[in-house]
Amino acid sequence: GTTLGASAAESGRYFGTAVAANKLSDSTYVGILNREFNMVTPENEMKWDATEPSQNQFNYTNADRIVSHAQANGMRIRGHALAWHSQQPGWVQNLSGTALRQAMLNHVTQVATHYKGKIHSWDVVNEAFADGGTGARRDSNLQRTGDDWIEAAFRAARAADPGAKLCYNDYNTDGQNAKSNAVYAMVQDFKSRGVPIDCVGFQSHFNPNSPVPSDYQANLQRFANLGIDVQITELDIEGSGTAQADNYSRVIKACMAVSRCTGITVWGIRDSDSWRSSGTPLLFDASGNKKPAYTSTLNALNGG
Ligand code: G3I
């Protein structure tokens, strides 16, 4: 293939990007988006603060703009994210206990129902485990409603949109470590008890302090061996030139080597679109030109 999306499709995979609704009027941005990508993840527009700014008052304006653009251009959509400790509206931050649990379940149900039939995969729960060596759950207001909040969210999402793949998504789980071991144990437990889960997303935000792990492919494979799909969901890699290109190639090749690694999403299009505003972690420069990392990614998707 000659584009990222077409090349990924040749092996039955997708190649996606995070999209910001307010950039859909930027013709350079949209030109690259429509040419290269066949999956989109709304970068912020489906989060709790965006979709339910006041309790039971839902606002889908910006998220719907991205969904419409995707549908008009034959792109699939990864919903992001239904239940997360971050980017909660103020009214949620002021709740606890049963009231928070019910608000979370209502949010999952309402948003998944609004988008029923339109979402390929949902990040149902995002970033629920703690960093470091404990393998514990992250302390958050959602966690304090009870350990079963994650499975409750997955069951509510399945009931609302039975056709969507339901994923758990996290960072610093890209190699084998205490955090990824804890996620692994959760998935194993969910599978053994029939809690609906279809996929695990590996965010894959890499930089010199957090490089691509040497056991990246092995880690993807062990999760796939649990009988779920895996995806690379928020890929960006700090650096430039050949070193950055080589790191991108390693990540893409790892996914290509795991049959249940069904797709790759980069977290933005141009370096200037990145959440790492000072960095250059993406595949296109600020002018929209292809970087060496683009070429190595394309070659890896094409088996080179
Ligand atoms: O929209 C408001 C704007 O009205 C306001 O004037 C401005 C002032 O700060 O803020 C704008 O909101 C910002 C929003 O991005 C949209 O640009 C928030 O402050 C800012 O915090 C938010 O950052 C996002 C971040 O998640 C928040 O946690 C990034 O764009 C987004 O790329 C990032 O994405 C996360 C994934 O969801 C989960 N995994 C990690 C990843 C990177 O942090």
Confidence of residue 197 (pLDDT cuts 50, 70, 90): very high
Confidence of residue 105 (pLDDT cuts 50, 70, 90): very high
CA-47 nearest atom, ligand 1: 37
What pLDDT sits at residue 140?
98
Q: Is 169 exposed, middle or buried (0-12, 13-18, 19+ CB in 10 A)?
A: buried
Single-letter amino acid, residue 170: D
CA distances from 255 to 7, 217, 297 (A): 13, 7, 11
**Probe residue for ligand 1, chosen from 43, 62, 138 as the CB with the greatest number of ligand atoms within 8 Å:** 43
CB 244 within 8 A of CB 284: no
Q: 92 alpha carbon to ligand 1 midpoint, in Å?
A: 18
CA distances from 267 to 41, 147, 192, 216 (A): 9, 30, 33, 18
Ligand 1 in contact with 58 (CB < 6 A)?
no
Ligand 1 in contact with 203 (CB < 6 A)?
yes
Q: State the catalytic residue, choosing from 43, 45, 234, 238.
A: 234
Confidence of residue 47 (pLDDT cuts 50, 70, 90): very high
What is the share, in percent, of the chain residues with pLDDT greater than 90?
A: 99
Q: What is the ipTM of this complex?
A: 0.95
Distance CA 83, CA 100 (A): 11
pLDDT higher than threshold 90 for residue 59: yes
Ligand 1 in contact with 275 (CB < 6 A)?
yes
pLDDT, mean of residues 181-206: 98
Ligand 1 in contact with 44 (CB < 6 A)?
yes
Instruction: Tell me whether residue 234 is one of the annotated catalytic residues.
Output: yes
What pLDDT sits at residue 151?
99
What pLDDT sits at residue 96?
98
Return mean pLDDT, the chain.
98
Sequence-distant (≥ 6) Cβ neighbours of residue 302 within 8 angstroms: 1, 7, 10
| Single pTM value for the model | 0.98
Q: What is the pLDDT of residues 246-302, one digit of tens each?
A: 999 999 999 999 999 999 999 999 999 999 978 999 999 999 999 999 999 999 999
